[in-house]
Amino acid sequence: MHLENCHIVVTGGTGGLGRAVVGRLLDAGAALHLPVEPGVEIDSFPHAGHANLSATAGVDLTDASAVEAFYTALPELWGSIHLAGGFTMAPLAETDADTFQHMMDMNLRTCFLCCRAAAARMAAGGRIVNVAARPGLEPRTGAGMAAYAASKAGVAALTEALGEELAGQGIWVNAVAPSIIDTPANRDAMPDADHDTWPTPEEIAATIAFLVSPDNKVTRGGVIPVYGRF
């Protein structure tokens, strides 16, 4: 896979999945642009200082003006990958309106704003990749996390709608939908689970890298399950 001279945004690039995606794209020669959210430190980010990586600190991805300003300052884009988001798990009785709105803001609003800004920076052709989640595709698996499931279902619907809307511009919009990702934090939270059945960040990154690459010539409007064996 060759991504030389391809300018690509990666939101949430300092997270567990983000690090795998950033590493894979840098290895393929991409020029990456990372909006780093307020309060997130990048000093220990393993790819900090890479010649092909530019990080912009203090970008609030829920703020429409901040998102527009970040994207407007970039060169013409080939791709934009939207990994930023949040998670909460609580039964309905313990989920208040503020928590519900927070999930919508973190997962759906950030995705919408970044898709909108990214498409405006792309000429004919380009790739957008979002991140939904298994509960967003299979809502019954979202019992006990309804706010999160609803926000990720919104990401899936947004992806399919934009996949059709932007096809005429040659912009392919897709998403991946992970189950539980094999990260240290998830292992700590579920020590008795069968971790070998979970997809790794590197495995999911491989799917994302294909979807954002010029090698993806036909797949659009898809929400691709990346469940592993879980």
Q: pLDDT tens digits for 180-227?
A: 998 888 889 899 999 999 999 999 999 999 999 999 999 999 999 999
Q: From the CB of residue 217, how many other CB atoms can be counted at a distance below 10 Å? A: 8
Q: pLDDT tens digits for 106-117?
A: 999 999 999 999
Residue 217's DSSP bridge partners are none
Q: Which of 11, 67, 4, 64 is nearest to 34 (CA)?
A: 11
Q: Where are the alpha helices (DSSP H) in the chain?
A: 16-27, 64-72, 97-103, 110-120, 134-137, 146-165, 184-189, 201-212
Q: pLDDT tens digits for 148-162?
A: 999 999 999 999 999
Residue 7's DSSP bridge partners are 31
φ, ψ of residue 223 to 5 degrees: the values are -115, 100
Q: Kindly state the DSSP code that residue 128 receives in the 8-state scheme.
A: E
- The domains of the chain, with CATH numbers, are 7-226 (3.40.50.720)
Q: pLDDT tens digits for 48-73?
A: 889 999 999 999 999 999 999 999 99
Q: Kindly state the DSSP code that residue 144 receives in the 8-state scheme.
A: T
